Amino acid sequence: MTRPQSIEHLDIAVSECRACPRLVQWREQVAEEKRAAFADESYWGKAVPGFGPADAAMLIVGLAPAAHGANRTGRMFTGDRSGDVLYRAMHAVGLASQPTATHIGDGLTLNGVRITAPVHCAPPQNKPTPAERNTCRPWLDDELRLLRPTLRSVLVLGAFGWQSLLPTLAANGWEIPRPAPKFGHGAQLDLGSITVFGSYHVSQRNTFTGLLTPTMIEDVLRNAGRHARLL
């Protein structure tokens, strides 16, 4: 398969991917059965591409689309409570045009930031398998390759994203220290042309329990944004 030569072509190719049978079956089942609150909506029900400009200076790496969030709306972190937390914080520090993300066409734009995930399909129980992560990895490879000329910082949400990203960065020419740095909120890794930051994921479990507070996510977003020269 020919590798995408632009972010636009990458996004189209991602949305057409059917490489993981379990994920394809699940995302389409969810899109057909729906949640009662969204019974009148047409679900996206496909792999969800990244969101943000093709010349982004900052990349945010999550986990995977939520079944009734991005799998419904077709845009990363859009239409669920995790996205509510993320975009509110991004708007607060000046990285998003508005604090809410409800659907494609709601007017939301990102300031020099692109959002992606190591797995582009909604997985059952929000738990992709290592094999599914590895199958999806070429899309992250391509995204990093295409963003490399402008990329200055990467913010990783959660340990799964951290463990997925570091080997991908290594495969794309960035030198990762050995042993690989451990994930933690506030972790920071200087790789020369880019700096990688770690944050707890904006999941309901983390935000409801107070493991991740609005101040904590705003602080790390602000730090990553400054390293990307966006703030």
pLDDT digits (tens, 9 = 90+) for 85-117: 999 999 999 999 999 999 999 999 999 999 999
149: its two tokens: 């000329």
Instruction: Tell me if residue 225 falls in helix, strand or coil.
Output: helix
Q: Average pLDDT of 157-173?
A: 95
How far is Cα 209 from Cα 195, in angstroms, rounded to an integer? 29
* Torsion angles phi and psi, residue 87, rounded to 5: -70, -30
pLDDT band at 1 (very low <50, low <70, confident <90, very high): low
Q: Give percent of the chain above pLDDT 70.
A: 100
Is the full-model pTM beyond 0.85? yes
* DSSP classification of residue 51: B
Q: Average pLDDT of 176-181?
A: 92
Q: What is the pLDDT of residue 92?
A: 98
* DSSP classification of residue 77: T
Q: What digits encode the pLDDT tens for the residues 35-51?
A: 999 999 999 999 999 99
How far is Cα 161 from Cα 129, in angstroms, rounded to an integer? 13
Q: What is the pLDDT of residue 222?
A: 98
Instruction: Using alpha carbons, list the distances in angstroms from residue 228 to 7, 49, 187.
Output: 19, 22, 16
| Whether pLDDT at 13 is above 70 | yes
Q: Average pLDDT of 50-76?
A: 98
